[in-house]
A and B are shown apart, each in its own frame.
Chain A
């Protein structure tokens, strides 16, 4: 279970940073970049606290 939340958290961080590289290279639009980054942010803040709590409990 903990691994799933870690994976979601990692995916959140990737979605936070990768769109800005894509925007820099002209591979995506500013609006798409902002939307994907927000999804990444939401994923991180949902999964990181749970993953951290599970790590502390274990």
Chain B
């Protein structure tokens, strides 16, 4: 999973993209293929194994879920983006006013910091190898010692400073690293297959087999959990419309199909390869002893990749974590800057980096990444429904589109209530009934869109 594709380009932020600047499908193919093979993949793949998922549920579930994600990008995000050709932020400002965009930015910025923090955690598991550092456990929420804290702070400081100094150099390095990273993911998977003594498809299938009980502290994943998780882990980007910033440049909405490259390389191939690395670790005496004692073996991307591909494995984990965390911190800084416009980009990025580093000290964000990513999509996606429903249904419902802009308002209460009520209600349903949050992302999205129209009827009439 990656949010790099939502990066603000810094151009045409308050005007539609002119025809001369439109890009063909090839531009999107490379971007999505590279950006979704990121640091998060090293955590998410193994975490499926901890959820006791079966082979069919994983292989078929990921196929279906990723297909639904691609369709969401193609028919929701890319379609609206090529008709509107504005950034999410500017379009939102037109509908709900500057002040409400600020609240969205705050939520976005905080969630970005937590995501970046989990990537600092991932990098720390690689940097800690030469220091013989004790790796955090799967159910650890607090740091396990001073060495862990020192390493996380050191990584966080470097990442924050680089992000504050300039986004372009990191973006350039990420582009250079991405073809190599994809190959290292594949290499890790191939080596793991040999280490697992897999010589046929049947033996590969048997790694997950019929599934099993989830590890202590984890929930059981079925076919539907895998489908909905893989569909909505990037919900903020597709149905949440954050990738409007990207697809507003597309000549045709059909460029949305190119997201398939990211989904099936990053969220299929890379997740399965990372899961294979963890399957190797589960056969080690250390992991077997832990499982026998009823403990969950830790997911430590650094040692797992080092075991499979040596020093290249340490490098890939650091690079993958760094290239994901860096733009995320930069983007969090931009989101916060909308709230404190007088602070310099450097200062606000350092603030965002500090928050991310503090989050990285606590391994819970990385170890519970499946839950965190599901929550991230759940909170931000409904805002996309406001844009979609305003675009397609407002006129039909006799409402004014881009209401805040036309009324000169800074705060459209209908949008805030629709967003808060939809996520509040469905989050409560999830908590009270123990329902997996990703199952409720789509209902919350639809509810937010419908509530927006109903409440707009009331407020616009008033």
Q: Which residues of A contact B (CB under 8 A)?
A: 12-13, 16-17, 19-21, 23-24, 26, 30, 33-35, 37-38, 40-41, 44-45, 48-49, 52
Contact (Cβ within 8 A) B191 A48 = no
Residues of A within 8 A of B315 (CB): 41
Interface residue B180 (Cβ < 8 Å from any Cβ of A): yes
Q: Mark B307-321, 1 if CB is under 8 A from A, else 0.
A: 001111001000000
The B182-198 residues at the A interface (CB cut-off 8 A) are 183-184, 186-188, 190-191, 193-194
Q: How far is the CB of B281 from chain A (nearest CB, A)?
A: 15
Contact (Cβ within 8 A) B311 A24 = no
Q: Which residues of B contact A (CB under 8 A)?
A: 172, 175-177, 179-180, 183-184, 186-188, 190-191, 193-194, 309-312, 315
Assembled-state Cα–Cα distance A30/B306 (Å):
11
Q: How far is the CB of B197 from chain A (nearest CB, A)?
A: 11
Residues of A within 8 A of B180 (CB): 12-13, 16, 41, 44-45, 48
Contact of A24 among B172, B175, B190, B312 (CB under 8 A): B190
Assembled-state Cα–Cα distance A52/B191 (Å):
30
Contact (Cβ within 8 A) B311 A34 = yes
Most chain A C-beta atoms within 10 Å of own C-beta, residue among B179, B187, B190, B315: B187
Assembled-state Cα–Cα distance A44/B175 (Å):
12
Q: Known contacts being A20-B309, A38-B311, is A52 close to B176, with CB within 8 Å?
A: yes
Closest A residue to B316 by beta carbon equals A41
Assembled-state Cα–Cα distance A41/B181 (Å):
10
Q: Known contacts being A24-B191, A38-B310, A41-B312, is A16 close to B183, with CB within 8 Å?
A: yes
Residues of B within 8 A of A49 (CB): 176
Closest A residue to B175 by beta carbon equals A52
Closest A residue to B195 by beta carbon equals A30
What secondary structure prevails in chain B residues at the interface with A? Answer: helix
Contact (Cβ within 8 A) A17 B186 = yes
Q: How far is the CB of B272 from chain A (nearest CB, A)?
A: 15
Can you give 6 A-B contacts (C-beta < 8 A)? A16-B184, A19-B187, A20-B187, A24-B194, A33-B309, A34-B309
Residues of B within 8 A of A45 (CB): 176-177, 180
Assembled-state Cα–Cα distance A34/B188 (Å):
11
Q: How far is the CB of B213 from chain A (nearest CB, A)?
A: 31
Assembled-state Cα–Cα distance A13/B182 (Å):
10
Assembled-state Cα–Cα distance A11/B152 (Å):
35
Residues of A within 8 A of B176 (CB): 45, 48-49, 52
Contact of A35 among B190, B193, B310 (CB under 8 A): B310
Assembled-state Cα–Cα distance A23/B193 (Å):
10
Q: Known contacts being A16-B180, A16-B183, A49-B176, is A37 close to B310, with CB within 8 Å?
A: yes
Contact (Cβ within 8 A) B194 A23 = yes
The 4 closest A-B pairs by CB, nearest first: A34-B310, A20-B187, A20-B190, A17-B183
Assembled-state Cα–Cα distance A48/B317 (Å):
19
Most chain B C-beta atoms within 10 Å of own C-beta, residue among A23, A33, A41, A45: A41
Contact (Cβ within 8 A) B194 A34 = no
Q: How far is the CB of A40 from chain B (nearest CB, A)?
A: 8
Contact (Cβ within 8 A) A30 B191 = yes
Q: Known contacts being A38-B311, A41-B312, is A13 close to B191, with CB within 8 Å?
A: no
Assembled-state Cα–Cα distance A45/B309 (Å):
17
Residues of A within 8 A of B184 (CB): 16, 37, 41
Q: Known contacts being A35-B310, A38-B311, is A24 close to B193, with CB within 8 Å?
A: yes
Contact (Cβ within 8 A) B312 A34 = yes
Closest A residue to B307 by beta carbon equals A30
Contact (Cβ within 8 A) B312 A20 = no
Assembled-state Cα–Cα distance A41/B191 (Å):
17
Residues of B within 8 A of A24 (CB): 190-191, 193-194
Q: How far is the CB of B283 from chain A (nearest CB, A)?
A: 15
Contact (Cβ within 8 A) B194 A38 = no
Assembled-state Cα–Cα distance A12/B177 (Å):
12
Assembled-state Cα–Cα distance A16/B180 (Å):
8
